[in-house]
């Protein structure tokens, strides 16, 4: 296998850990001796070993058998090895200490704690480093992580469920607008995000849990509540989780407070008032709309005041699917 094939293999296999590594990026590392794969490692779980460490620990089992010294081997990593000592040691230092002489890197780590320093450690220790192999794929795979560090703010997705006549259900009328399949699909969107944000009205009227219910392992998203009024903190929403509560109205200030946190993405699941406030502030990067065939009429309240509001806010349709009788549309900010 050549380095291109190995990098693609590492990227593809790293994908498996996207729900458990978050808010960290998914990362893969492969160690080869010429054409032979000696070992592979992945960042499987947030807070646990980085990919390179898992690969190197595996490789030690074959030292003296498949190879004599690490200087004979090449290490392929999808992301620049980290320079910082975080929850685990510095991968770049560990690679130097292990004795590698050749490292092939996909993308440079945009995290300001790393951002080229890992590469410098390797090069300063006479390791031959190649950078940029399929970096666009690595960036796409870790879209939220790269966005957060490039823009110094989390990626914001808004999800709404709309009746055929463009409405949300009215206060305290707990009707399901969309089908069970659509609601299961929402669980996967929750699973991808690092935080879920809602407002006091939704909390009081709907009593939502807003946790992610899926049949695979995930890191549950953090919860964020925006409310200026009193609330009952014994509701299910507060079960087994820490919730960040904001009593201020300034959305920019609220979102800005996450710029130095690990949160890379926030999913807004709220009612029309808060959703429109996010849109008016031009803070939404992606808007996901589920539309059912149901008509709500007098039992509903309009999601938007004007016709073509989504387009008028500068969104363009990126994709559109049928889910049972519902329609799922994804709109992206038209830059
Ligand atoms: C690597 N290899 O497999 C990953 C890296 O909180 P920590 O200590 O786990 O560090 C997380 C940061 O490390 C993350 O934000 C990113 O910059 C980098 N991720 N680096 O060398 C890995 N997952
Ligand atoms: Zn690392």
Q: Among the atoms of ligand 1, which is closest to the Cα of residue 86?
A: 8
Residue 215 is classified by DSSP as S
**Position in ligand 1 atom list of the atom nearest CA 48:** 9
Q: Tens digits of per-residue pLDDT, 70-112?
A: 999 999 999 999 998 877 789 999 999 999 999 999 999 999 9
**DSSP E strands, the chain:** 28-33, 36-42, 74-79, 102-107, 128-131, 155-162, 167-169, 195-199, 222-226, 243-246, 265-268, 286-291, 300-302, 315-323, 326-333
Are 113 and 135 a contacting pair, CB within 8 Å?
no
Which ligand lies nearest the alpha carbon of 43? Answer: 1
What pLDDT, on a 0 to 100 scale, did the predictor assign at position 99? Answer: 97
Q: Report the C-alpha gap between 330 and 20 in whole angstroms.
A: 24
- The answer to whether 187 and 217 are in contact (CB under 8 A) is no
Q: Provide CB contacts within 8 A for 315, sequence distance 6+.
A: 284, 287, 331, 332, 333, 334
Nearest to 196 by CA among 277, 281, 265: 265
Q: What is the pLDDT of residues 126-156, one digit of tens each?
A: 999 999 999 999 999 999 999 999 999 999 9
Which residues sit with Cβ closer than 5 angstroms to ligand 2, an ion? 50, 82, 91
Residue-wise pLDDT for 84-94, tens only, equals 887 778 999 99
Ligand 1 atom with the smallest distance to the CA of 109 is 17
Q: Could you list the active site residues?
A: 52
pLDDT at 174 over 70: no
Closest CA to 199 of 246, 259, 153, 238: 246
Residue 184, SS3 per DSSP? helix
Instruction: For 220-260, write each residue's pLDDT tens digit.
Output: 999 999 999 998 989 999 988 889 999 988 999 999 999 99
pLDDT classification of 335: cutoffs 50, 70, 90 = confident
Ligand 1 pocket, CB under 6 A? 24-25, 27, 43, 50-52, 79, 81-82, 86-88, 91, 109, 111, 114
Residue to probe by mutation, ligand 1, list 43, 50, 121, most atoms within 8 Å of CB: 50
């Amino acid at each position: 296998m050549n380095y291109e094939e190995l990098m693609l293999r590492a990227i593809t296999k790293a994908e498996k850990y996207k729900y458990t590594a978050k808010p960290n990026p998914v990362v893969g590392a492969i160690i080869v001796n010429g054409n032979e794969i000696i070992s592979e490692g992945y960042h499987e779980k947030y807070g646990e070993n980085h990919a390179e460490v898992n690969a190197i620990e595996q490789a030690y089992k074959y030292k003296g058998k498949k190879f004599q010294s690490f200087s004979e081997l090449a290490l392929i990593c999808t992301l620049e090895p980290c320079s910082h000592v975080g929850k685990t040691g510095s991968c770049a230092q560990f690679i130097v200490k292990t004795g590698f002489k050749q490292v092939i890197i996909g993308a440079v780590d945009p995290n300001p704690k790393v951002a080229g320093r890992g590469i410098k450690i390797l090069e300063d220790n006479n390791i031959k480093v190649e950078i940029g192999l399929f970096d666009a794929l690595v960036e796409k795979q870790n879209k939220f992580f790269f966005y957060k560090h490039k823009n110094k703010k989390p990626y914001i997705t808004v999800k709404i469920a709309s009746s055929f006549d463009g409405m949300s259900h009215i206060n305290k009328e707990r009707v399901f607008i969309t089908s069970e399949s659509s609601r299961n699909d929402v669980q996967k969107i929750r699973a991808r995000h690092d935080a879920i944000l809602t407002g006091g009205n939704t909390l009081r009227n709907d009593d939502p849990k807003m946790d992610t219910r899926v049949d695979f392992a995930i890191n549950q998203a953090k919860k964020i509540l925006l409310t200026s009024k009193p609330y009952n903190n014994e509701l299910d929403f507060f079960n087994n989780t820490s919730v960040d509560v904001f009593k201020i109205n300034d959305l920019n200030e609220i979102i800005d407070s996450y710029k130095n946190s690990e949160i890379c993405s926030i999913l807004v699941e709220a009612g029309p008032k808060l959703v429109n406030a996010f849109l008016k502030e031009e803070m939404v990067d992606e808007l996901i709309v589920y539309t059912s065939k149901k008509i709500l009429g007098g039992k509903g309240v309009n999601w938007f005041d004007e016709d073509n509001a989504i387009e008028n806010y500068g969104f363009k349709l990126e994709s559109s699917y049928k889910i049972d009788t519902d329609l799922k549309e994804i709109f992206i900010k038209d830059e």
